[in-house]
Amino acid sequence: MTVETLSKPSVDLAQDHDWWRGAVIYQIYPRSFADSNGDGVGDLPGVTAHLEHVASLGVDAVWLSPFFTSPMKDFGYDVSNYEDVDPIFGTLADFDRLIEKAHALGLKVIIDQVFSHTSDEHPWFKASRQDRSNPKADWYVWADAKPDGSPPSNWQSVFGGPSWTWDARRRQYYLHNFLSAQPDLNVHSPQVQDALIATARFWLERGVDGFRFDAINFAMHDQALTDNPPILSGEGKRTRPFDFQHHFHNQSHDDIPAFLTRLRLLGESYGGRFMVAEVGGERADSEMKLYTQGPDRLHSAYGFLYLYADTLAADLIRQGTAMWSGEEGQGWPSWTFSNHDAPRAVSRWARGRDPKAFADMSLLLLVCLRGNVFIYQGEELGLPQAEVPYDRLQDPEAIANWPETLGRDGARTPMPWVAVAAHTGFSKVEPWLPIDPSHIDLAVDRQERDGDSTLNLTRRVVALRRRLPALRTGGMTLVEAPEPLLVFLRGEGADQVLCAFNLGFEAAAWDLPAGWAIVDSVNLAGEGVLPPMAGLVATRA
């Protein structure tokens, strides 16, 4: 491998180790952010060229989705080289320049680490599949067939079909919880753990400020290969075989926390870098707490409570609040309403209401929640889910489950930068995913000139969170209110903040209690009533 070098950005290890607590973090999906070289795909130089936009939002950090070498079967989440940049995104020198500029702008940089699986083109897997006696023979999860030739267990993959694929060279099955091109690493192996820690160290040496560990609860499996029990209730929509099982044995092994402790110790040796777990599934509540419990595990956990919810209601927020009560020894939550894996919140939740009014209200609500806040690219513009025709779909999950699910492509279409430019300024050529016509009028340049735009609202509410310590790090106490109202307090004493929202479709009677003064609001009209999609933040008068 040829490694380009650039002067490594200086990183002040004496910086506040708790910068992440209550931080606002902006997620960038590099393929769709900005194309600098005219190939229709976003890249790292494109990100670097637009970091001023990100910094202008007032956020604390950026999270970059994978840009590592990959055959792109799952668009970078199938890694074939953990320690290099895929040519479609640029070079290591481009990454170093990105880090340098971000730090100059006061932005931290967090990157994904995909430690549950690799690409089947990774040299580790190519070696492992050769035979049963090579030095990497047990670096992946291999198992013999049952006597009748069927797979070793009944486990089903997230993307459809069995989690096992037969390999004729070893005359065994290998495990893949996702695509068959994404074989699962055997993270039970100390050698595999050492190799993964070495890759994390590689990026820490280049100056990254933290990691998001993708699908980390899939990192270890039940080595007895016990069958998963079926879900007998019949509740919930079933679009994949994966939806028919309780996933007790193919993931969520009891040994995962010990590996996370090793990762946390690595981060601490670099001055305390931020580490957040992505945790999904039916036991996400308990697993997120387990993975962040105490001082020797990860700082925070990133869950799916809001990402796949069909409706934004007060009960949903109450559920999230109850999950993270703030008791002694408990970790710190991270929340997001949209990301690259879920349909955009405006399309899921507006349900016929004015999309801009809803986008504004949801952004104010998001920055008022207790925990870290992740804002997905385009969310600051109020982008709805894009319509992607079947013949333009790229996402393997969307293609496999079409038309039963919206898929992920509609949340991954290019950022609209300039309304009148070709391809809205994202690229000079046709992009890898089409621009939705509804996104053109929401382009950055148009919203910059509109003082009432969602973009400028985002800057305002992020600044509000930074200005009021209670919103950033204070506790959260729910106040009794009739549906569809959501009322809660953040913080304690004189610095306490009152937040009130109408999540419904009709106006509701509500008066601001005596002794409070509104410091910011959205969609508010008059006193004594909260219009639908109205929200306010008040401090003690």
> Quick check: is 84 catalytic?
no
- Contacts of 51 by beta carbon, 8 Å cutoff, 6+ apart: 62, 98, 101, 102, 105, 107
CA–CA distance from 252 to each of 169, 220, 259 (Å)? 29, 7, 12
Three-state SS across 183-216?
CEECCCCHHHHHHHHHHHHHHHHCCCCEEEECCH
Residue 106: exposure state from Cβ atoms within 10 A (0-12, 13-18, ≥19): exposed
Of 112, 278, 287, 520, catalytic: 278
Measure the CA–CA gap between 117 and 119, rounded to whole angstroms.
Answer: 7
Strand pairing report for 535-540 and 497-502:
antiparallel
> Quick check: is 214 catalytic?
yes
User: Coil, helix or strand for 66?
Assistant: coil
User: Coil, helix or strand for 143?
Assistant: strand
Of 214, 285, 379, 436, catalytic: 214
Strand pairing report for 81-85 and 24-28:
unpaired
CA-based nearest residue to 45, from 13, 6, 79: 6
CA-based nearest residue to 311, from 515, 68, 495, 486: 486
Peptide bond into 484 cis (omega under 30): yes
Q: Which residues does residue 529 pair with via DSSP β-bridges, in sequence order? A: 509
The H-assigned helical ranges of 426-453 are 444-448
Q: Which helix (H) or strand (E) segment is 46 a member of?
A: helix 44-49
Q: Which residues does residue 335 pair with via DSSP β-bridges, in sequence order? A: 373
Instruction: List active site positions.
Output: 214, 278
